[in-house]
Amino acid sequence: MSVKTLSVTMTKSKHGRLKDHQLCLKGLGLSRIRQVVNVIDTPENRGMINKVAYMVKVEEV
């Protein structure tokens, strides 16, 4: 059984955003614009991605 992963790219700056949104980016491992991280497709990660959907781009790997 293979684990599904998501490729998440930060597209907008975190400065001036809500503290909860900044913490979601940190939880996903994102700190810089155009940084790409691969995260496991879990409900927890999906929730963080949905909260900051306007700041990230997501692709299934």
Q: Which domain range does residue 12 map to?
A: 5-60
> Given a cut of 70, is residue 51 above it in pLDDT?
yes
The count of domains in the chain is 1
Structure tokens at 25: 């980016």
In this predicted model, what pLDDT tens digit does every residue of 6-36 receive, in sequence order?
Answer: 999 999 999 999 999 999 999 999 999 999 9
Distance CA 61, CA 13 (A): 24
Q: Do 25 and 14 touch, CB atoms closer than 8 A? A: yes
> Given a cut of 80, is residue 1 above it in pLDDT?
no
Q: Cα-Cα-Cα-Cα dihedral of 52, 22, 11, 15, to 10°? A: 130
- What pLDDT is recorded for position 2? 85
Could you tell me the CATH number of the domain that includes residue 41? Answer: 3.30.1390.20
Query: What single-letter DSSP state applies at residue 54?
Result: T
Distance CA 4, CA 22 (A): 25
Q: The whole model's pTM is what?
A: 0.92
Interval 49-54 mean pLDDT: 97
